[in-house]
Structure 1
Amino acid sequence: MTNDTITPPPKSQLHPVFTVTNIQNKVRVLDGTKVAYASWVRLFKLHARGYDVLSHIDGAAAPAETHSSYADWCKVDVHVLQWIYGTVSDDLLPRILEDESTARAAWLRVKNIFNNNKGARAAALESEFNGLKLEHMPSLEAYCQRLRELAGMLKDVDAPVSERRLVIQLVRGLSGEYDTVASYINQTSPNFETARSMLELELHRKTGRDEAATALAAPAVAPSDPLG
């Protein structure tokens, strides 16, 4: 008696890309201001590599249309294309949205937007970077963050800012109340994040001192007389 068994075909595994339900939870929306192009590219590629779809944006050849894997490749490519469209700002989307596009083609359209007119964009960004001052910003945190953002955007247009220059500009734009710590930063030449921490510590110290002075200056309230 033979014991013939029929082995069922292996179940096809779900591609990792289909497990992502909201790409914006992983990649911030590119607007060229709050999120620089270089930062978006690095984060997008990180997730593309993690979900095994980097080949859809790095220029790798697609399978031939007659190949058995082509249909599955197209489904994955459309998903990556949705990632791109879903992580650009409302202003950028109309500039890259096209019918019958591949993910790679859309990726290159985004790249071209940020590569065109580099000279003019670099000049405008340099002007803002050199003129930015703490007094123009709502807080020290916002000031430091904007400097970092501008440095990232300058890198995007092939005008990178060195760490030393970034720290120099950070100090240059400070108000007089930071003169002491600014002088120390100039002498010690720390990196940007260390200099930022030093300024935040000085702000915390100053805030505490001002609050203590306000409390001491407050007039004492005489206790009420229970007998009238």
Structure 2
Amino acid sequence: MSDELLPRILEDKSTAREAWVRVENIFTNNKGARAAALEAEFHSLRLEGMPSLEAYCQRLRELAGMLKDVDATVSDRRLVIQLVRGLPNEYDTIASYINQTMPSFEIARSMLELELHRKSGRDEPATALAAPAAPSSTRNSDWETDPAE
């Protein structure tokens, strides 16, 4: 309990139950305002504003938990919809598939992680094996022999 709240909660000759009710009232009196602020953050969260896909998914989960605490429960379906809604355009193909199949949040998250892994593998420089360049020669072919040889 913070030092600022203690004087509001502890009173002379009050029971533990009375102190607990005062704590509960302090935190439930602003439940509507807190729910509205959390809803706004939940709806405006975008992957582009987060350091990683992992952080984005984690923040969505945290916000859903906080909304539940203020009696504004977020269903798994709504969580998936918001997950997709906050994705940038380069995820349009996988986002469309997730919207069509509507998997659980965890499966949708895994699908996005696989897509990110696929994209990062494609963006890495090619490491194909290349034959070393042959030394320059005036011969037409390595099979040709010099008649003087």
Q: 2:79 aligns with which of 138, 150, 166?
A: 166
Match of 1:192 among 90, 95, 105: 105
For the 8 Å contact 1:114–1:156, the answer to whether it is kept is: no
Q: Which runs of 5 or more residues in structure 2 are unaligned?
A: 134-149
Alignment partner of 2:70 out of 152, 157, 160:
157
Tell me how many residue pairs correspond in the alignment. 125
Measure how far apart 1:114 and its partner are: 3.1
Contact 1:185 1:195 (8 Å CA) reproduced: yes
Tell me, which stretches of 5 or more residues in structure 1 are unaligned? Answer: 1-91, 223-228
Q: Distance in 1 between matches of 2:37 and 2:25?
A: 18
Shift of 1:149: 0.8
Cα distance in 2 for partners of 1:102, 1:204 equals 57
Aligned to 1:139: 52
Paired residues of 1:114 and 1:157 also in contact (CA < 8 A): no
Give the alignment's TM-score, normalised by structure 2: 0.71
| Matched AA of 2:63 | L
| Bigger Cα Rg | 2
Percent pairwise identity: 77
Tell me the residue number matched to 1:176: 89
1:1-228 residue pairs with structure 2 within 5 A? 92-94=1-3, 95-96=5-6, 98=10, 108=21, 110-211=23-124, 214-216=125-127
Tell me by how many angstroms 1:110 deviates: 4.9
Does the C-alpha gap of structure 1 residues 111 and 207 become closer, same or farther in structure 2, counting only changes over 3 Å?
farther
Q: Distance between the aligned counterparts of 2:34 and 2:79, measured in 1?
A: 19
Provide, for residues 41-72 of structure 1, a one-character-per-residue CA deviation record: whole Å limited to 9, x for no partner: xxxxxxxxxxxxxxxxxxxxxxxxxxxxxxxx
TM-score by length of structure 1 reads 0.48
